[in-house]
């Protein structure tokens, strides 16, 4: 006999005074999920800074979240499946806050044999004994007895890019805005990204490009250029050269790519000896991925096409140093390949093995390296366990090092467009950080890249101060 079946309560089984109850503790995830499903994004529920200044002094649950708990009690337990809502009356008496535990009760107060309607008195009481919501519900009760297996609710994966952005933005609190040369911001996305970055206090923008065109774009897109300096340049090549020259002279502390090709800007940087550091430049993406529990860095997916072993040393060291800037004390570095074993027919596995040995000998420092690792082993502890891989990195990688630009670029774009990840990127290894984004990226992605560059610039400034002492 099956014991895992649930059953409903039919109209004939229901008696006056009969009741049922459930308990539920409100979490932030409940509020976020209800906002996502209902579309009610009132800041009183989602923005603590705003909510603290309201009459209720803090974030509260949506009122109808309490109503949904009554619906859950009636639909799941009493009378259970087969119940049809006819009417619901609600009165809201006190706010419900994160951490409150509510007791939801429904008690039968009336039965109508003609239409099989049942009227129930409903109330929600918090852990202090305070009634926060009450009312009556009228339902059409089921007339047929049924026993069914429990239904597992669909999983809701909560991911709030804005919240992740605000969390990252908080790391820049107290940092001075960095004077930034923006090369050729001649479309709406790049110009807005630069000015939005200024609005967040990340940069002091120096816009380099055709002035008439820049002002025309600003006027058409209603972008406020207040606080921006404009330096005229006839075309994108000249804009890149002027931006790099300003960085070489120390007139700006970072660069930002506008609406020009990446190789134009990088070529201009390489042409300035003062911007070279002796380390190869490389690109790092930072992603917030919905199904991964921490930020993920991917390198190099935008600059070095087919890096050799020594070039990968610099690529990895750049990424480790930057991860430490982001607060990761000892970054875990997964060196990716198609397989997790060394295979002479797959050159990337040989590079991975050599890089791990180089790290053991101190040629790469500040992180823990392992490889070769396939992608699943790098990000899934379960996958690593199934394959009997013993590793301090597997399943917990902070940095993914790709074999070449092609694989890295495809991985990055798959995370963004198929997995819903939010990303930003910058170039490291030059004397100044370079906020580097795709021309298809949104203004928010450009702001996020500027934010990363500000963090890198501030870290470089503090390193110089320490060396001076």
Per-residue pLDDT in tens (0 to 9) along the chain, 469 residues: 445 788 999 999 999 999 999 999 998 889 988 998 899 989 888 887 788 888 878 889 999 999 999 999 999 999 999 999 999 999 999 999 999 999 999 999 999 999 999 999 999 999 999 999 999 999 999 999 988 888 877 776 666 777 778 888 888 888 899 999 999 999 998 999 999 999 999 999 999 999 999 999 999 999 999 999 999 999 999 999 999 999 999 999 999 999 999 999 999 999 999 999 999 999 999 999 888 889 999 999 999 999 999 999 999 999 999 999 999 999 999 999 999 999 999 999 999 999 999 999 999 999 999 989 999 999 998 999 999 998 999 999 999 999 999 999 999 999 988 988 888 999 999 999 999 877 667 777 888 898 999 999 888 877 666 665 5
Q: Which of 430, 431, 366, 429 is nearest to 399 (CA)?
A: 366
Residues ≥6 apart with Cβ < 8 Å to 354: 309
3-state secondary structure of 246: helix
Residue 469 to residue 436: CA distance in whole angstroms: 32
| Tokens 């990968």 -> residue | 312
Q: Which of 282, 285, 293 is nearest to 397 (CA)?
A: 293
Q: Please state, in angstroms and as integers, the Cα–Cα distance from residue 376 to each residue in 165, 276, 285, 395, 403, following that order.
A: 26, 36, 19, 8, 15
| Tokens 């009634």 -> residue | 131
Residue 107 to residue 19: CA distance in whole angstroms: 4
437 Rama sector, left if φ>0, alpha if ψ -120 to 50, beta otherwise = beta
- H/E stretch holding 333 reads strand 332-336
Quick check: 397 and 378 in contact, CB under 8 A?
Answer: yes
Count of other CB atoms within 10 angstroms of residue 139: 24
Residue 274 to residue 404: CA distance in whole angstroms: 28
pTM over 0.95: no
Residue 392 to residue 384: CA distance in whole angstroms: 11
Q: Which of 48, 26, 151, 157 is nearest to 99 (CA)?
A: 26
Count of other CB atoms within 10 angstroms of residue 53: 10
Residues ≥6 apart with Cβ < 8 Å to 398: 294, 295, 296, 297, 323, 328, 331, 332, 333, 367
Strand-pair partners of 400: 298, 334
């Amino acid at each position: 006999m099956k014991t895992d079946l649930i059953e409903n309560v039919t109209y004939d089984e229901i008696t006056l005074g009969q009741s049922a109850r459930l308990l539920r503790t409100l979490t932030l995830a409940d509020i976020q999920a209800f906002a996502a499903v209902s579309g009610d994004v009132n800041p009183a529920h989602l923005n603590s800074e705003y909510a603290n200044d309201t009459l209720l002094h803090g974030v509260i649950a949506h009122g109808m979240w309490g109503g949904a708990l009554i619906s859950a009690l009636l639909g799941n337990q009493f009378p259970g499946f087969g119940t049809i809502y006819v009417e619901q009356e609600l009165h809201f008496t006190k706010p419900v806050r994160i951490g409150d535990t509510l007791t939801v009760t429904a008690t039968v107060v009336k039965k109508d044999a003609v239409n099989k309607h049942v009227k129930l008195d409903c109330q929600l009481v918090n852990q202090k004994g305070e009634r926060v919501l009450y009312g009556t519900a009228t339902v059409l009760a089921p007339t047929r007895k049924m026993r069914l297996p429990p239904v597992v609710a669909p999983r809701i994966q909560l991911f709030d890019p804005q919240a992740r952005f605000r969390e990252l933005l908080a790391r820049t609190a107290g940092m001075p805005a960095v004077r930034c040369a923006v090369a050729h911001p001649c479309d709406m996305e790049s110009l807005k990204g630069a000015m939005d970055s200024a609005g967040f206090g990340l940069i002091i923008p120096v816009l380099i490009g055709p002035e008439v065109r820049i002002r025309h774009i600003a006027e058409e897109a209603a972008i406020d250029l207040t606080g921006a300096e404009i330096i005229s340049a006839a075309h994108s090549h000249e804009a890149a050269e002027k931006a790099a020259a300003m960085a070489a002279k120390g007139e700006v502390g970072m660069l930002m790519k506008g609406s020009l090709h990446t190789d134009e800007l990088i070529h201009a940087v390489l042409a300035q000896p003062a911007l070279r550091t002796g380390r190869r430049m490389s690109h790092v993406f930072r992603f917030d991925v919905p199904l991964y529990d921490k930020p993920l860095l991917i390198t190099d997916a935008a600059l070095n096409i087919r890096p050799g072993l020594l070039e990968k040393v610099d690529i990895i060291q750049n990424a480790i140093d930057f991860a430490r800037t982001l607060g990761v004390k000892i970054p875990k570095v997964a060196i990716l390949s198609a397989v997790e074993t060394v295979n002479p027919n797959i050159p990337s596995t040989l590079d991975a093995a050599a890089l791990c040995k180089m790290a053991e000998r101190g040629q790469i420092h500040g992180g823990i390296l392992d490889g070769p690792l396939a992608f699943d082993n790098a990000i899934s502890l379960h996958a690593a366990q199934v394959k009997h891989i013993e590793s301090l990195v597997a399943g917990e990688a902070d940095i993914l090092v790709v074999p070449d630009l092609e694989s890295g670029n495809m991985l990055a774009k798959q995370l963004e467009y198929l997995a819903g990840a939010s990303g930003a990127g910058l170039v490291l290894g030059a004397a100044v950080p370079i906020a580097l984004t795709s021309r298809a990226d949104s203004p928010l992605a450009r702001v996020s890249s500027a934010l990363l560059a500000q963090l890198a610039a501030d870290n470089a400034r503090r390193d110089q101060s320490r060396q001076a002492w």
